[in-house]
Amino acid sequence: MTYFDEAAQEEVFQPADIVIMAAYSLHNTHLCLLSGIGQPYDPASGDGVTGRNYAYQMTGGTTTFFEDVEFNPFIGSGSTGYVIDDYAINQLDFAAEGFIGGGYIHASQHNGQPIRNLPLPAGVPAWGAGWKQGVKEWYGHAMGVGLHGSNMAYRDCYLDLDPTYTDRHGRPLLRMTFDWKDNDARLSQFMKSKIEPVVKALRPTSFTSSYKDMGCGTRHRWWPSFYRGAMPMRASRGGMASVIEDSLQYMTDADATAMAVYLRHVATDADALDTPTLARTNSTDTETAAMLLAASPDMDLGARLYLDNCNACQFNTGTGADGVFPELVGNSNVLAEEPGGFLQVILNGAAMPSTATRPARLRMPPFRDRLSDNEVATLATFVRQSWGNNASPVAANAVSEVRAVSPELQVPEARFLTGY
């Protein structure tokens, strides 16, 4: 083994039969990459091991504030903490909850530094005289209840050597490519739904919460639509599909990211780009899914129409095949105040663009010849009022008006199937 002795400022060769790498995992990976140990991971081909599948941890928490309780945080007795382990990985039904993973809930006092650790209630100024007064009133009166959860490994999260930046010895720095996924957000929101009731039972003066939510990744939820016209909540069709086929799909990653950042910057409500119109109800609203799964002969007409015509692609959860068909839960087209766009899709069908990354032109068939105006209205109303959706019902005459002015979609052949 060869290493550099910082004190002596010289390179040293140390004969050894076994070398134990006992540094932090990031440093160990960096050493392996610099030393040529193992094949570096290539995210494009999937080959290689070193640096592959970097995963972190999912954290979050709720901070409570008690006017009449002094916690003496400077004692820092972390060993006296308490943990609720009821939601660990081996305790959860992943299919029922809508995510893979788990975590534990913990509360302990382990950091009382008066400058570094100053949680303050909502509404206290972040600086100035108001901040100083808040520190005086609330130091030692806060207690945290936190989440420590799992984070899955993904093909696009990895470690490699930076092609540009080096340390003072000329060695490439370690580069981390990582982003949060919707699975992480679902886990975080699930744990929030378990932690906050515990906090409320403590009856604090107030509390604040911080958890990952849908769209928490830096590559926004709608970013993939530039390339393939589909994403978890929406799908491109009509004129936008042509724009993607003829233009946007050819952009570089840098161009697509720049456009995403710009659109977010100019948006009136930037968060609306990243999150559903309606807060998702992954694990709390299961009645519709259970009713569809039971398929009782006496279920309402709307549910029967959904099972017969929609369930194969959108499933009994309304979420659809991940990354293939848009979710119906919280979908802005489904929940629009004027349902004409949604009715057009049901009546005339829709086709996603054919791109190099997703060549098949996935198509929803038209139902204008299969369903009457009343049946389309009943089906649309069912979707708009199920899985936590809460939009107004659709009348049959609204369907009739859309049917009269919108022709059936004519879908061209897919462009990129040659060679597949």
The verdict on residue 414 lying in a domain is no
- Please provide the DSSP assignment of 34-58 as one string: HHT-SPBP-TTT----BT-S----E
The verdict on residue 18 lying in a domain is yes
Q: Scan for tokens 């089906």, then name that residue.
A: 379
Here the tokens at position 398 are 């609204």
Residues 166 and 143 in one domain: no
Residues 349 and 378 in one domain: yes
Residues 252 and 324 in one domain: yes
Here the tokens at position 418 are 């040659």
Region of 101 on the Ramachandran plot (φ > 0 left; ψ -120 to 50 alpha; else beta): left
Which residue segment(s) compose the domain that 229 sits in?
225-405
Residues 309 and 344 in one domain: yes
The verdict on residue 419 lying in a domain is no
For residue 324, give the nearest of 333, 315, 336 by alpha carbon: 315
Residues paired with 148 in a beta bridge:
59, 104
Distance from C-alpha of 281 to C-alpha of 388, rounded to nearest angstrom = 6
Residues 8 and 96 in one domain: no
Q: What angle do CA 358, 270, 191 make, to 5 degrees?
A: 80
Residues 136 and 252 in one domain: no
- Please provide the DSSP assignment of 345-413 as one string: HHHH-EEPPP-SSS-S--EEPP-TTTS-HHHHHHHHHHHHTSTT-------HHHHHHHHHH-PPPP-PP
The verdict on residue 380 lying in a domain is yes
User: Between the CA of residue 364 and those of 245, 287, 347, 349, 382, what are the distances in Å?
Assistant: 18, 26, 10, 5, 18
The verdict on residue 32 lying in a domain is yes
Residues 276 and 292 in one domain: yes
Give pLDDT tens digits for 136-170: 999 989 999 999 999 999 988 999 999 888 998 89
Give pLDDT tens digits for 254-271: 677 677 767 766 765 544
Residues 255 and 332 in one domain: yes
For residue 371, give the nearest of 360, 380, 359 by alpha carbon: 380
The verdict on residue 229 lying in a domain is yes
Give the side-chain half-sphere CA count within 13 A for 285.
18
Helix then strand then coil, % of the chain, to nearest 5: 35, 15, 50
Give the model's pLDDT for residue 270. Answer: 47
Contact between 376 and 346 (Cβ < 8 Å): yes
Distance from C-alpha of 384 to C-alpha of 261, rounded to nearest angstrom = 31
The verdict on residue 219 lying in a domain is no
Q: What is the pLDDT along the chain (420 residues), one digit of tens a residue?
A: 888 898 998 999 999 999 899 999 999 999 999 999 999 999 888 899 999 999 988 999 999 999 999 988 877 776 778 999 999 999 999 999 999 999 999 998 777 777 777 889 988 988 889 999 999 999 989 999 999 999 999 988 999 999 888 998 899 999 998 888 889 989 999 999 999 999 999 999 999 999 988 666 655 555 555 555 555 455 666 667 777 777 777 877 667 767 776 776 676 554 455 444 333 333 345 788 889 989 998 999 999 999 999 998 888 888 887 667 778 888 888 999 999 999 999 998 887 777 776 666 677 889 999 999 999 999 999 999 999 899 999 999 999 999 998 776 555 555 544 433
Query: Around Cβ 110, how many Cβ atoms within 10 Å?
Result: 14
> The CATH number of the domain where 297 resides is what?
1.10.760.10
Residues 167 and 201 in one domain: no
Q: Structurally, how many domains does the chain consist of?
A: 3
User: Between the CA of residue 408 and those of 61, 287, 346, 396, what are the distances in Å?
Assistant: 50, 34, 10, 19
Give the model's pLDDT for residue 126. Answer: 81
Query: Around Cβ 315, how many Cβ atoms within 10 Å?
Result: 17
Give the model's pLDDT for residue 238. Answer: 64
Give the model's pLDDT for residue 265. Answer: 65
Region of 46 on the Ramachandran plot (φ > 0 left; ψ -120 to 50 alpha; else beta): left
Give the model's pLDDT for residue 108. Answer: 82
- Determine the residue type at 100: I
Contact between 403 and 347 (Cβ < 8 Å): yes
Distance from C-alpha of 343 to C-alpha of 378, rounded to nearest angstrom = 11
Residues 49 and 130 in one domain: no
The verdict on residue 218 lying in a domain is no
- Give me the helix-helix angle, 301-309 and 287-294, nearest 10°: 70
Query: Around Cβ 349, how many Cβ atoms within 10 Å?
Result: 17
Give the model's pLDDT for residue 251. Answer: 75
Residues 256 and 134 in one domain: no
Here the tokens at position 23 are 């540094």
Residues paired with 107 in a beta bridge:
82
Distance from C-alpha of 146 to C-alpha of 342, rounded to nearest angstrom = 41
Residues 190 and 256 in one domain: no
